[in-house]
Structure 1
């Protein structure tokens, strides 16, 4: 299975609550750039799991406009910034197995994404995720490896 972990696009700060922050124009632009870069690799997602926060939902809306509709997409409260990374990683793997998904996209937040990588790839330090960036973890049986991490800034 190939697990694509994506941080939401850049968000503004003009919201009463953190969960209500919206993407900026730059956030939409960088998300579109990353989406096109991913699309050019030929990947098609069978399963997409997204945080319920507005900026993650908007990121998914932008990404989804560049790809065929996945077999299943779900909003998960376990993908918020302060979620338990071990639980989030186990949940993502369980959904991937349930839906027999070979390519899974998760759209979430820091610090959760960095800690999820550490949960999935033992011995690795939690990587930082710039907004709109994506990391790909390849999981074969009980072996997993962080294959690459890409930022929108490096492809723009």
Structure 2
């Protein structure tokens, strides 16, 4: 399975709650750029798992314009910023197995996205993701390896 873990695009802090933060203009631009990059790596998209937070949903709306149509898209409460990384990793893998997904995109937040990397790839430290950054993990059975880290510098 090819697993792509992505952090949402840049978001505004002007919102009534963290859940309701929206992407900035720059965040939409970033997400579109990453969508184009992912397009060269993803020929089919079996499963998308996206946080219920507005900025993650908006990121998916932008990214999806550049990718093949997803076979299945699930809004997943387990991948919000305060989610438990071990539990989230288990849920992601369970969904992938349930839908027999070979290509999975997860759109989530810091800090959980970094911790997911260390949960899914033995020996990897949790990286810090800039907005719209992603990693690609090749996951087969109990083994996983980090294929690529598209992690621009956090500004």
TM-score after normalising by structure 2: 0.95
Q: Which residue of 1 aligns with 2:118?
A: 118
Asked if the contact 2:42–2:67 (Cα under 8 Å) also holds between the matched residues in 1, the reply is no
Q: Which residue of 1 aligns with 2:133?
A: 133
Q: Which residue of 2 aligns with 1:74?
A: 74
Per-residue Cα deviation, 1:86-136 (whole angstroms, up to 9, x for no partner): 000000000000000000000000000110111111221101111001101
Which portions of structure 1, spanning 4 or more consecutive aligned residues, are displaced by more than 4 angstroms? none
Q: Which residue of 2 aligns with 1:26?
A: 26
Q: Matched residue of 1:71: which SS? A: strand
Gaps spanning 5+ residues in structure 1: where? none
Q: CA deviation at 1:44?
A: 2.4
Q: Within the alignment, does 1:45 sit opposite 2:52 as a pair? A: no
* Corresponding pairs, count: 153
TM-score after normalising by structure 1: 0.94
- State how far apart, in whole Å, the 2-side matches of 1:25 and 1:152 are: 18
Q: Tell me the C-alpha RMSD between the 2 structures.
A: 1.2
